[in-house]
Amino acid sequence: MYKYLSGHMGINPQVASFVAEAEQELFGLFAKVDETAAVNQMKILNAMQNSRLSDSHFNDSTGYGYHDEGREVLEKIFAALFHAEAALVRPQLISGTHALAAALFGNLRPNDVLFSPVGKPYDTLESVIGIRPASGSLAEYGITYQQAELLENGDFDYEAIAEILKSQPKMVTIQRSKGYSWRKSFTVAEINDLIQCIRSRSPHTIILVDNCYGEFVATDEPIEADLLAGSLIKNPGGGIAAGGGYVVGKQKYVEASAERLTAPGLGSAVGPTLGMSRTLIQGLFLAPQTVSAAVKGAILAASVFGKLGFDVNPIVSAERSDIVQAIKLNNPENVLAFCRGIQKAAPVDSFVTPEPAPMPGYAHGVIMAGGTFIQGSSIELSADAPMRDPYIVYFQGGLTAPHSRAGVVFALQEMVREGRIKI
Ligand SMILES: *Cc1c(COP(=O)(O)O)cnc(C)c1O
């Protein structure tokens, strides 16, 4: 492959061999990633078999979507996979933000308190919560928000958390992935510890985990939570789902989320899959493999850019809990070059030049590179960077390991070509 890349597509042979040499050192780590995929594949296979998935479940439903058997079996599979009482898995959930918003609005009422023990939430949640004023936010409905910052080293500040838990908040939201911040992504074990602390001090608090980007990166999921939510155009859609989101967990909290998604009284009983049930189910089946490809690309990016002297988070050998690789590129020119490289590695829209632009839900200009089959899909090869100091690029995705590897090669190539770095 490196021979191919160095002879074709304008890749500098030095760039190709730099990446190839870095990769030589990673096969041990990659074998562990494959092992995780194997475990998750078996779990999914088991859930599909136990749910008696059948050909007939791939039939279409329209209109209200009453008794949509494909949807029902898909939700049964998700519930089994996450050891949950219920699941809401719908194309009508537009994204992860929408799934999280349905869970929050569905379960919070005026005068309730929402608490984040893990610092600032993902950018798009700021307008949902009302940290950044927005029409229709939780704040407008009289729901207040509290947050405990993380400690300097990125760990939970259990003292500050215990203090806030004294007020017995109605709901807690825990973000597993770093999102667009330079912190560690929490492992499932860390999240379970935090959940245990919350349960012991505030037993009636509903615990929601934002599981975006985390699914199938490890062999377990943060199932101790009352609710988990995520996006199907990230990990659990396997790159095949054309859209959708999920909420899984305790029956009554999932149903409350469904009442918010559809309407009070309708809840989860309606919702046509509109011909998508096969691809949603097939995407889930492929997800462990797709996620493993993305994780290998992330590890390779950490290695390559770490060797070039950039700060990377996580470091190469760290235990991973999401597919995101953050690289501190220090200046806007590096970010632009990196992102142009990712765009040039795309199967779709490789000829366009990504530029920073305002994005709905984000406070800063954001540059997003990625020519994807599914719009905005970040389980596909992509890179995003909010244009703010210290200019961190978040690299993720790749439907196949060779493609996520190609992303690293093209990003490096562009930085070298533009004279940003020397190798
Ligand atoms: C992607 C993501 C979300 C939701 O974003 P959408 O683009 O709406 O799917 C929320 N939290 C985290 C940590 C994410 O990575």
In this predicted structure, the answer to whether residue 269 has a pLDDT above a threshold of 80 is yes
How much distance in Å is there from the Cα of 120 to the middle of ligand 1?
Answer: 13
d(CA 343, CA 339): 6
Name which residue sits closest to atom 6 of ligand 1, judged by CA. 96
Spatial strand order in the sheet of 311-313: 311-313, 325-328, 392-396, 382-386, 366-369
Q: Give the model's confidence band at 360: pLDDT under 50 very low, under 70 low, under 90 confident, else very high.
A: confident
DSSP-assigned beta bridge partners for residue 325 = 395
Percent of the chain with pLDDT over 90: 94
**Torsions phi, psi of 120, nearest 5?**
-60, 135
pLDDT of residue 179: 86
pLDDT of residue 7: 55
How much distance in Å is there from the Cα of 378 to the middle of ligand 1?
Answer: 10
How much distance in Å is there from the Cα of 213 to the middle of ligand 1?
Answer: 8
- Report the pocket of ligand 1 as residue ranges, CB < 6 Å: 95-97, 122, 124, 175, 177, 179, 210, 212-213, 231
DSSP string, 299-342: HHHHHHHHHTT-EEES-TTSPPSSS-EEEE--SHHHHHHHHHHH
Token reading at 406 = 């190609």
pTM above 0.75, yes or no: yes
Token reading at 192 = 């379970």
pLDDT tens column, 150-199: 999 999 999 999 999 999 999 999 999 998 889 999 999 999 999 999 99
In this predicted structure, the answer to whether residue 56 has a pLDDT above a threshold of 60 is yes
DSSP-assigned beta bridge partners for residue 366 = 357, 386
pLDDT of residue 99: 98
pLDDT tens column, 295-339: 999 999 999 999 999 999 999 999 999 999 999 999 999 999 999
How much distance in Å is there from the Cα of 97 to the middle of ligand 1?
Answer: 6
Q: Which amino acid is at 394?
A: Y
What atom of ligand 1 comes closest to residue 361's alpha carbon? 8
Q: What does the pLDDT average to over 95-106?
A: 98
d(CA 57, CA 77): 12
Q: What does the pLDDT average to over 120-144?
A: 96
Hey, is 171 helix, strand or coil? Answer: strand
Question: Please, how many CA atoms are within 13 Å of residue 351, restricted to the half-sphere of its CB?
Answer: 0
What atom of ligand 1 comes closest to residue 178's alpha carbon? 13
pLDDT tens column, 385-406: 999 999 999 999 999 999 999 9
What value does the mean pLDDT of the chain take? 96
Token reading at 388 = 């703010």
d(CA 284, CA 279): 8
What atom of ligand 1 comes closest to residue 122's alpha carbon? 11
d(CA 216, CA 37): 7
In this predicted structure, the answer to whether residue 273 has a pLDDT above a threshold of 90 is yes
Q: Give the model's confidence band at 58: pLDDT under 50 very low, under 70 low, under 90 confident, else very high.
A: very high
Phi-psi region of 364 (alpha: psi -120 to 50; beta: other; left: phi over 0): beta
Using most ligand atoms within 8 A of CB, pick from 122, 235, 372 the residue to mutate for ligand 1: 122
How much distance in Å is there from the Cα of 212 to the middle of ligand 1?
Answer: 6
pLDDT of residue 1: 53
Token reading at 133 = 């004023």
Lowest mean pLDDT among 324-333, 358-367, 401-410, 414-423: 358-367
How much distance in Å is there from the Cα of 182 to the middle of ligand 1?
Answer: 16
Using most ligand atoms within 8 A of CB, pick from 123, 231, 233 the residue to mutate for ligand 1: 231
How much distance in Å is there from the Cα of 93 to the middle of ligand 1?
Answer: 12
Angle formed by the axes of helices 69-81 and 277-307, to 10°? 40
pLDDT of residue 180: 83
